[in-house]
């Protein structure tokens, strides 16, 4: 019988939730190193771009959902300044422990599909490589919409399947062959098999945009990065920003 972590990308609902939680607990110690190798360290630049789409102002309140080891929190702090608030939430404690070592911001154990936050609290919300992992994409978008203030912005970075057929073939080779091999060097083959499999099973750019629209977002846009292997979606909650 297949081990649970070998087939997370085929699971849904609460089974996916606990399998994903266990997988990130397992890879937390090596997450940052492998993330930098796999993104060629470009993820810092993508995060700065993503945060710029939020149009945050000094003193604003920003939340990073599925915050992992906290790499979105530094650009968010730069955007909101010393008087602003930056909060990170994730449902995996070992990932939050890593974040605690790196950033001095408020961190909380929470599920993206049921955030322990009142409605209309934040001017900006980020999610980095998180939506693909939640058990219910629609529900997560609804929660992110709920906690944003009217006029607030949401941005999500995640893996994508390249549209260009040649790039897609090269990416398939890299993600299906090289990434699991790299993961195996760290003894994490299953987790790094999950990355390409979950990307292939993930919703398309258009399906994600439609889910955001169903949740109530407006001005939805997306932009490919790394030749379409990564995509950033950004959107706004309707309404005027309060002065």
Ligand X SMILES: C[S@@+](CC[C@H](N)C(=O)[O-])C[C@H]1O[C@@H](n2cnc3c(N)ncnc32)[C@H](O)[C@@H]1O
Query: Whose CA is closest to 26, among 171, 192, 217?
Result: 192
Cβ-based nearer residue to ligand X, 90 or 123: 90
Cβ-based nearer residue to ligand X, 58 or 114: 114
Cβ-based nearer residue to ligand X, 13 or 82: 13
What is the CB-side half-sphere exposure of residue 237 using CA atoms within 13 A?
24
The one among 60, 71, 123, 143 contacting ligand X by CB under 6 A: 71
Q: Give the binding-site size for ligand X (rule: CB under 6 A).
A: 21
Integer distance in angstroms from the first to the last C-alpha of the chain? Answer: 58
> Does 105 sit near ligand X (CB under 6 A)?
no
Q: Which stretch binds ligand X (CB under 6 A): 50-58, 124-132, 177-185, 199-207?
A: 124-132
> Does 75 sit near ligand X (CB under 6 A)?
no
CA separation (Å) from 236 to 119, 155, 205, 243? 15, 9, 17, 17
Rounded Cα–Cα distance for residues 120 and 139 (Å): 16
Rounded Cα–Cα distance for residues 119 and 115 (Å): 10
Mark 134-173 with x for binding to ligand X (rule: CB under 6 A) and - for no binding: x---------------------------------------
CB of 180 to ligand X, least distance (A): 16
Rounded Cα–Cα distance for residues 92 and 110 (Å): 8
Q: Which stretch binds ligand X (CB under 6 A): 49-57, 66-74, 162-170, 197-205?
A: 66-74
CB of 238 to ligand X, least distance (A): 25
Instruction: Determine the residue with CB nearest ligand X.
Output: 68
User: CB of 221 within 8 A of CB of 205?
Assistant: no
Q: Checking DSSP bridges between strand 230-236 and strand 122-128, what pairing results, if any?
A: unpaired
The one among 9, 54, 62, 111 contacting ligand X by CB under 6 A: 111
Contacts (CB under 6 A) with ligand X, residues 33-52: 35
Contacts (CB under 6 A) with ligand X, residues 13-32: 17, 20, 24
**Tally of CB atoms within 10 A around 58:** 10
Scanning the structure block, which residue is given the tokens 């945050």? 56
Query: Whose CA is closest to 237, among 158, 157, 147, 156?
Result: 147
Cβ-based nearer residue to ligand X, 91 or 234: 91
Handedness of CA 117, 123, 125, 126 (dihedral sign): negative
Q: Which stretch binds ligand X (CB under 6 A): 117-125, 130-138, 145-153, 170-178?
A: 130-138
User: Which positions touch ligand X (CB under 6 A)?
Assistant: 17, 20, 24, 35, 66-68, 71-72, 90-92, 95, 111-113, 128-130, 133-134
């Amino acid at each position: 019988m297949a081990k649970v972590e070998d087939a997370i990308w085929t699971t849904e609902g609460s089974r996916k939730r606990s399998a994903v939680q266990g997988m990130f607990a397992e890879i937390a110690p090596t997450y940052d190193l492998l993330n930098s190798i796999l993104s060629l360290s470009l993820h810092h630049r993508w995060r700065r771009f993503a945060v710029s789409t939020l149009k945050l102002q000094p003193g604003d309140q920003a939340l990073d959902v599925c915050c992992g080891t906290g790499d979105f929190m530094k650009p968010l702090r730069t955007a909101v300044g010393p008087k602003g608030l930056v909060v990170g939430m994730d449902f995996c404690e070992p990932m939050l422990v890593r974040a605690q070592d790196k950033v001095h911001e408020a961190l909380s154990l929470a599920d993206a599909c049921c955030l322990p936050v009142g409605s209309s609290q934040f001017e900006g919300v980020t999610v980095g490589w998180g939506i693909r992992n939640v058990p219910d994409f629609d529900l997560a978008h609804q929660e992110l919409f709920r906690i944003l203030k009217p006029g607030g912005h949401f941005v999500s970075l995640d893996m994508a399947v390249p549209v260009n057929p040649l790039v897609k073939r090269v990416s398939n080779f890299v993600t299906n062959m090289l990434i699991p091999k790299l993961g195996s060097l760290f003894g994490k083959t299953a987790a790094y098999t999950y990355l390409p499999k979950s990307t292939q099973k993930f919703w398309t750019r258009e399906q994600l945009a439609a889910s955001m629209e169903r949740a109530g977002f407006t001005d939805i846009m997306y932009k490919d990065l790394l030749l379409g292997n990564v995509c950033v979606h950004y959107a706004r909650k309707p309404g005027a920003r309060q002065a």
